[in-house]
Structure 1
Amino acid sequence: MSDPAPTPPIGERVRAARRAKGLALGALAGLIGRSTGWMSMVENGHLPLDKRSDIAAIAEVLEVSADSLLGEPADDVSARLPTISLVQLREVLHEYAVDEPPDVPVRSLDQTARDLAMLDDQLRRTDYDAMMRTLPGVMAELHAGAHLPEPQRSEALRQLITVCGLSVIVMRHFGQSDLAWISGDRSRQAALALGDPVWSAAAAYHRAHARPSASLSRALLSSPRVADELEPHIGDDPMAHQVYGMLRLSAALASQVSGDHAEAQRHAREAADIASRAETPDDPQAWELFGVSNVGVWRTMLAVEAGDPGEAMRISDTVQTGALASKNRRASLHMDRFRALHMLGRHRAAARELQKAERLSPAQVRYSPLVRETVRHMTSVKDPVLRGIAWRMGVI
């Protein structure tokens, strides 16, 4: 059997969208503040289009979604990529609703809470197969639990928000943006039914990250406002502080992708300050692992997006990776170190960083359109580690 064809690069999608709009190459370049030469090299695959802000700007001018430019791995390369069964989860998300009780028996909420703790542990270990054997059933139960009498109803809604957040992460790691978005919106619906400002903010965070950040979705752009609205409700609640901190990091990302580097830095500093004042700077039980080390992971990514690879490496060197109680967060750090080292022209060192990330979280690496675009640009590098990863991503 012959090898499947590589997936098309982002530059080809940009060219097709530009021609469909009837826009000249130079006109597109001018509208996004780039040179015609730069735009030409992107379309011809000589430069990687791997910064969220550039993708967002091009998508806006061409009036297409950033999702369509990023694309997903084609079906013909799926055999090279990690897979999970989506049948049950898709059924739950498509068939059930918060305001319509499904005919599903509900176990004790103590039991579903134990399942949620197990699912969270499996996510941290990137054991997605195990997650998908349990997550859909728990999600179905909690839809039914949302119609129990109080106080069980409120507890079921909190748990439903939590399981939807877990679903968002897994679906994003596997390139399933549509299911991630439904999961994020289901979290929002549960939060509306609950009526608690902290949990509403938590659900807003899930929704903000249900689509690629280059899409600049309204949910992501709303992060600064949601954080501002949450601030008066923080009090002494550790979870409230953690949700607030993660929303500030989301606001930083939204600002950076929008091209406002100063505002991105302001939000990131606020998040870092919140993390440094916590009783436990890297609490392994913190909501979304908010803490000093995770803030460092986010700031590394922001520096890469700002086009400052030296600063990204400096920040990443200060991150205590042992304090990150999750393989996928450690993988994220190595992925951004990979991008920074590529920008610095240190391609072999970059390949080793990506290898570390792939060993920690294969799906997260191989389904990342930004990483895939950078790897595609590096295929001329005669490095067996890099070429192995490129083959597994369907790039060569």
Structure 2
Amino acid sequence: MPVDTTPDPYTDPLAFGQRMQVLRTRRGLSRPVLAGLLGRSPSWVKQVENGSIGTPSLTMILRVAEVLRVRDLAELTGDESMPTHLFAGPGHPLLPAVQAAVNAYPVPGDGEAPSAEELRARLDRAWAARHSAPRHREVVGGLLPGLVRDAQLAVRQAASTRDRRRLQGILSEVYSLAQFFVAYQPDPALLWRVADRGMVAAQESEDPHAIGIAAWLTVQAHRDSGHAHFDAADAVNRDTLAFLEPLTPDTGDDVRAVVGALQFEAGYTAARRGESGTAWAWWEKAHALAESLPAHYYHPVTSFSRAVMSAHAVTVAVELHAGGESVRQATAADAHTIPSRPRRARHRIEEARGYQLDGQPEAALATLAKAHESAPDTVMYNGYARRIVLEETEAKSPARRQRASELAVKLGFLAA
């Protein structure tokens, strides 16, 4: 290998610190930024990377993996014998069927497509099932292949430009549902394919609501790809808000809710950057919009509502690494007012992150157990939940180690 070539941490026999440096560089993070996210000094990061300090504890390895969005600990440790996937779930048994449906295009001889009304009704039932089912990936994964195939076919068979635009909006939302299923599964290429097709279909529909949903999911896809993609997330967010916000005085609650969801996403990205003032300013703006919606309104895709804004406050505090504020916001929030099981479980995971930041690991584990009660599928595929539980399996307290180990087995993070 030429000496001026960056080593590949997946193929070259590198030490932990060298692997951390390569992955940090690839994510576009400076040493001071990584140090701040880890709660360490830049000199500590430098010493780890140059080998002056040996491999840190499992607790710190897991935190480095979280910050660098490492999906497999082997990328950091070099130990391929015990792979531990962090930000990708195990791969749902129904993933191949969804992959096949997304990758295939219907041809004219595939039969008569269902009507727009039938597709809309099926899609509404699918969203309702996703919010109500503890094993929501099982339910959605079973419905998606037929929905994708029939929505694609309906677009191809549209009798008029008006019908085609309406059906493109439905197809875009089908892809949005697919993105929820594919997220955190071991096929990032499929996730981006679904996101791109959803955005294209939304633009073809010329429907502001569809465009807003597709953009909302695209922002998340960019942000979850790492710090190097935050600017792309902000650009999509900014451009979509510039398009939608002037429309809000004359649109219904659904479009206004998508605007609010995008406003929060801008704050979420700012929080991930460590920009406290900007993050809370966006949260306040989204909160004001949520308060203008009917008291019991709940957007079926983004979950935007009055209820979810309290959960979003916990997320902002956690991303800013403010443990005390995270717990304060968690105490103020009422997870039971969130009607969606997966969204409620996600909120519990954010609460658990806050408790761990605040030095309350027992509360963190108890909260993750509650998340599992709400929606096991959400916890199984969540990297933050995995990191907290695995970290606590190495706790000094024997009782806490046992509790964490039992929970890890229950959640599918460790074999029984």
CA 246–17 in structure 1, closer or farther in 2 if over 3 Å, else same: same
Number of the residue aligned with 1:179: 190
Higher relative contact order (CA 8 A, sep 6+): 1
1:76-155 aligned at under 5 Å gives the runs: 83-96=92-105, 103=110, 105-124=112-131, 125-126=133-134, 127-147=136-156, 148-150=158-160, 151-155=162-166
In structure 2, distance between residues paired with 1:21 and 1:115: 43
In structure 1, distance between residues paired with 2:303 and 2:360: 31
Counterpart selection for 2:302 from 284, 288, 292: 288
Per-residue deviation, residues 252-282 of structure 1 (Å, max 9, x unmatched): 111111222211111111100000111x133
Number of the residue aligned with 1:220: 233
In structure 1, what residue type is equivalent to 2:404?
L
Per-residue deviation, residues 33-59 of structure 1 (Å, max 9, x unmatched): 53333674895234265489x82xxx5
Number of the residue aligned with 1:394: 413
In structure 2, what residue type is equivalent to 1:289?
S
Q: Give the TM-score normalised by the residue count of structure 1.
A: 0.81
Q: Within the alignment, does 1:385 sit opposite 2:399 as a pair?
A: no
After TM superposition, give the deviation of residue 241 of structure 1 in Å.
Answer: 0.5
Aligned CA RMSD, in angstroms, stands at 3.5
Q: Give the TM-score normalised by the residue count of structure 2.
A: 0.77
The 8 Å contact of residues 184 and 203 in structure 1, kept in 2 or not, is answered as: yes
3-state SS, counterpart of residue 359 of structure 2? coil
Number of the residue aligned with 2:43: 36
CA 261–82 in structure 1, closer or farther in 2 if over 3 Å, else same: same
Counterpart selection for 1:162 from 166, 173, 180: 173
In structure 1, distance between residues paired with 2:404 and 2:194: 34
CA 77–89 in structure 1, closer or farther in 2 if over 3 Å, else same: same
Query: 287-296 or 315-324, which moves further after superposition?
Result: 315-324
After TM superposition, give the deviation of residue 89 of structure 1 in Å.
Answer: 1.3
1:226-265 aligned at under 5 Å gives the runs: 226-234=240-248, 235-265=250-280
Query: 31-40 or 214-223, which moves further after superposition?
Result: 31-40
In structure 1, distance between residues paired with 2:280 and 2:15: 32
In structure 1, what residue type is equivalent to 2:190?
L
Identity of aligned residues (%): 17
Query: 319-328 or 175-184, which moves further after superposition?
Result: 175-184
3-state SS, counterpart of residue 96 of structure 1? coil
The 8 Å contact of residues 165 and 206 in structure 2, kept in 1 or not, is answered as: no
CA 67–139 in structure 1, closer or farther in 2 if over 3 Å, else same: farther
In structure 2, what residue type is equivalent to 1:314?
R
The 8 Å contact of residues 74 and 84 in structure 2, kept in 1 or not, is answered as: no
3-state SS, counterpart of residue 209 of structure 1? helix
Q: Within the alignment, does 1:201 sit opposite 2:212 as a pair?
A: yes
Number of the residue aligned with 2:3: none
Per-residue deviation, residues 35-90 of structure 1 (Å, max 9, x unmatched): 333674895234265489x82xxx5xxxxxx4657899999779x96833112211
Number of the residue aligned with 1:338: 352
Per-residue deviation, residues 363-387 of structure 1 (Å, max 9, x unmatched): 3212222222222221133334321
Structure showing greater radius of gyration is 2
Number of aligned residue pairs: 369
The 8 Å contact of residues 112 and 138 in structure 1, kept in 2 or not, is answered as: yes
CA 81–294 in structure 1, closer or farther in 2 if over 3 Å, else same: same
3-state SS, counterpart of residue 60 of structure 2? coil
Number of the residue aligned with 2:4: none
In structure 2, distance between residues paired with 1:361 and 1:346: 23
After TM superposition, give the deviation of residue 188 of structure 1 in Å.
Answer: 0.4
In structure 1, what residue type is equivalent to 2:289?
I
After TM superposition, give the deviation of residue 209 of structure 1 in Å.
Answer: 2.1
Per-residue deviation, residues 306-352 of structure 1 (Å, max 9, x unmatched): 11122122222232323211011111111011111112221112111
